Every structure is written in structure tokens, then in C-alpha cells.
Chains A and B, each alone.
Chain A
Amino acid sequence: MSTAFLYSIIALLTIAVVALLLRRSHGDDAPETNSRQEFANGLWESQGLGLAERILDPSDYFWLRDELGFPALAESLRDHRRHLALKWLNAVRSSFSEVVRTPEAASQSRTIGDTADSWQLLGATLRFHLLLSYAIVVVRFFGPYHRLIPSFTWMGAPWRVLPQSELERGSGLRRSA
């Protein structure tokens, strides 16, 4: 009796959810707002990437907190940067979705009929979304200055070399940007 009731509810829910998803899918014809599009357009150029690096760079925070001695102000800056970082990550997601939604005729990739290539493209798309979702979770819960790739410094001597080399590589990257 209770099983029949449960499955009847599942059946009703299925119809409602499918109808809702199909209806809403057809309703969102409106293009993205101009300001959002403008924000997303320059994201992958050097200026946009430089902005992202500045948002995620903790040197201002440490300077305010340790050198000038304003911990409260530093925390406020951190919260503001967290908000900016999340906004940037969401813009990255929108921009990436635009690329994903590029139809075949427009993307000049008619040669991508091959199944293996299609699976590779799907792999790259899913990898990006996985990385981005992880980044959003880390920034939301741990702040913009948290290390996204664990440093392993807590594991002892053999791992102490790693963060330094990573740091050097990171600073080299920043200089080149």
C-alpha cells in the first residue's frame, strides 16, 4: 500500500518535473544582458586574466594585516575579494558555456565527426566544469586565498621542497602575464 503510494508520487513528480524542465527550456529565449556579456568578453584576454590574478593574490591582504596592522580591514578586503572571485568564476562559467553551445556549423569544426574526438571534447568540457566547481566550492567556503592544490607541507621534510618550486613557478607565471 505504502509502496504503491510512493511510486504514484514518483510518477506524478516525474511528469511535473519533465513538463517544467521542457517549459522553462523553451522560455529562456532572452539573450544575456549587455553588461554581463561585456564582462565575459574580455575574460580570457591578458587584461581579464591579470584581473583574476589580482583578485586571487593575497599580498594586499597580508600587507594590510601584517605590515600596516589592520586585521579588521584585511578581513573586510578578503570578504570583498571572495565576492569578486565568485563573480569572476561565475562569469568564467557563463563564458565557457557560450563556447560549449557553439553549434557545429558556426564553430568551423565539421571535421569533428569522429567519435573519439567527440569523446575527447566531452572529456575536456567535463574536466573544466569539475575544476571550476571545485574552485567555486573552495573560494566560497575557504576564501579566495586558499590553496586550491594542496601543498602537503604538513607531511614533513620530503615535501618541503614542493611548495617552494610551486611558488617559483607561480611567480614566473604572474610575471609573464
Chain B
Amino acid sequence: MVLPLTAAALTYILGIAILVRAWQGKLFSRFSFFYSYLIYLLGTGVIMNLVDFLDGRHYPLVFWLRFLTLVVAEFALLVEIGDHIFAPYPAIRNLGRLVTVAMTLVFSTVYVIPSFYLHRPSSVAVLDLVMRSAVTKCAVLVALLVVARFYGVRPSKTVAGLALGLALYLAVNTANFALAESYGRELYGPIFSTIGPLSQALCVLIWTVALWRPEPDMEPARAVAAPREFSEPLPNRLGKFNTVLTRLFRK
């Protein structure tokens, strides 16, 4: 009981510290989805504890409502991470969105939605749904980083920290919910309720470190060093590359 409470308290302290730093550094507009998510996480956490304190009967309902909305909001967080990875490069600026939407659609179709048709108790179905959505988000995150690697694009340390924190939280969620589904509430319940807050605290700790001194999406030195001999506008150059390659191979 002490460990989950300590983890929850740590999450609140670090979360508030992140928000204060963002206020000082005027960062709210730069990471709008992220800060909205964090404010929602902390705000609804307070409401949830108040409900528990005032009327414990409604606590499970509030808990699951909050958790499921957070599960959906994490997709927006992935979109923001993708945007920040590719934003400085006009030719692939929307690649993060494309990867996120495409991967989400594919995983939803072949992996998440089919689980709705399985007959089982609703508690198990909810655990399974959360676990599958966590796996989907892990896959999206890995795909974003693989694509960034393919194009030789380096996320800033701030964005890398956001991605690492989220990956850790999602991965622990995946394992935690899978174990809860397999072993049941009686056997795994106490561990489940400890691991959840701990993973959240660890995630927020990584975010705090990443956002304490936020870096620009692209290092200024790299942005200045890039021009080289390019004089043509980028759309013309991309068009020329495509035309030349197509003509060359139409032999």
C-alpha cells in the first residue's frame, strides 16, 4: 500500500514540476498535446481520489473511465512525438502522422477489433483491450523511430526522452495487463495495483529530465550547416529526382 501511494505522490510532484517549468519556459504551445495529457492525467487523478474519499462505490467506474480516455489520448501523444521528430524537414514533415495513422489502422483492424468478438467476462475483455492498445502504441513508437533512423533523422534529446518515457510506460502496461489477465484478480491484484503507479512515476520522472532543459527540434548548428549547394526550391528538386530516375529506368 505504501509503494503505490509513494509512486502516486512522486507522479504528482514531478508532474507539477514539469508544468511549472513549462510555464516558465512558455512551452505549452510547443508540446500542446503532451501538456494537455499531463494536465488531464493529474487533474482526473485528483478527481478520482476525491471520489474514492467521498463515495468509494463509484471509484471503479471513474477509474476505468479515466483510464480508457487516457488510453485514447496516448495516441495523440504519439502524433505529437512523430510531428516533432520530422517537423524540421519539409519533405517528410507529415511522415510521423502517416506512420501513426497507418500503423494504428492496421493494428486496429487485424489485432484490436477482432478481440471484441471473443466471448469472455467483461473484466477480462477490458484488460485485453487495454493490453492490445498498449501493444499497438508500442509498435507505432518503434515504427516512428525506425523510419526516423531510415532517413537519418535524429530526434532531439527532449523528444527522445518523451518517447523513452512513453515506451517504458506502455511496455510495463502491456506486461502488467497480460499478467493480470492470466493470473486473475486474487493472485495478481496486489502486484497489479503497485506496478501501474510505479510505471507511471518512472515515466513522469524520465519526462521531467527530458523537459527540464528542453532542446529545439533541430540543433542550430545543424540547421545552419545544411544549405550546401542547393539553390532550387525543394519541390522542384524532388520532382527532378523522380523524373530523372523514372526516365533512366524506362529503357
Q: What residues make up the interface of A, taking CB atoms closer than 8 Å to B?
A: 1, 3-4, 6-8, 10-12, 14-15, 17-19, 21-22, 24-26, 28, 41, 44, 49, 52-53, 56-57, 92, 96-109, 112, 115, 117-122, 124-125, 127-128, 131-132, 135, 147-149, 166, 169-170, 173
Contacts and interface: CB of A to CB of B under 8 A. Distances in A.
Given A11-B172, A118-B94, 4 more contacts: A25-B148, A28-B152, A53-B248, A132-B245
B234 A101 contact: no
B245 A25 contact: no
A55 to B, nearest CB: 10
Contacts of B251: 56-57, 147-148, 170
B179 A106 contact: no
B22 to A, nearest CB: 22
21 contacts: A1-B182, A7-B175, A12-B175, A21-B149, A22-B163, A26-B157, A28-B154, A41-B229, A100-B92, A102-B90, A102-B230, A103-B89, A104-B90, A107-B90, A107-B234, A112-B235, A119-B94, A122-B98, A127-B242, A135-B245, A148-B249
Interface string B139-165: 001100110110111110100100110
B91 A100 contact: yes
Contact of A18 (B145, B154, B242): B145
Contact of B135 (A10, A22, A25, A103): A10
A58 B164 CA distance: 51
A124 B179 contact: no
Contact of B178 (A4, A49, A118): A4
Nearest to B135: A10
Contacts of B89: 100-104
B145 A25 contact: yes
B78 interface: no
Contacts of A24: 149
Interface of B: 88-95, 98, 131, 135, 138, 141-142, 145-146, 148-149, 151-155, 157, 160, 163-164, 167-168, 170-172, 174-175, 177-179, 181-183, 218, 222-224, 226-230, 233-235, 237-242, 244-251
A61 to B, nearest CB: 13
Secondary structure class of chain B's binding surface, majority of residues: helix
Given A99-B91, A104-B88, A109 B233 contact: yes
A49 to B, nearest CB: 7
A121 B95 CA distance: 10
Contacts of A128: 238, 241-242, 245
Given A99-B238, A106-B230, A117-B235, A25 B155 contact: yes
B171 A15 contact: yes
A112 B167 CA distance: 32
A47 to B, nearest CB: 13
A119 B248 CA distance: 26
B230 A149 contact: no
Given A4-B181, A18-B141, A107-B230, A122 B91 contact: yes
A53 B120 CA distance: 63
Contact of B234 (A3, A11, A99, A166): A99
Contact of B182 (A3, A57, A127, A170): A3
Given A12-B171, A22-B160, A103 B88 contact: yes
Given A99-B230, A103-B88, A148 B250 contact: yes
Given A21-B146, A122-B91, A103 B179 contact: no
B209 to A, nearest CB: 13
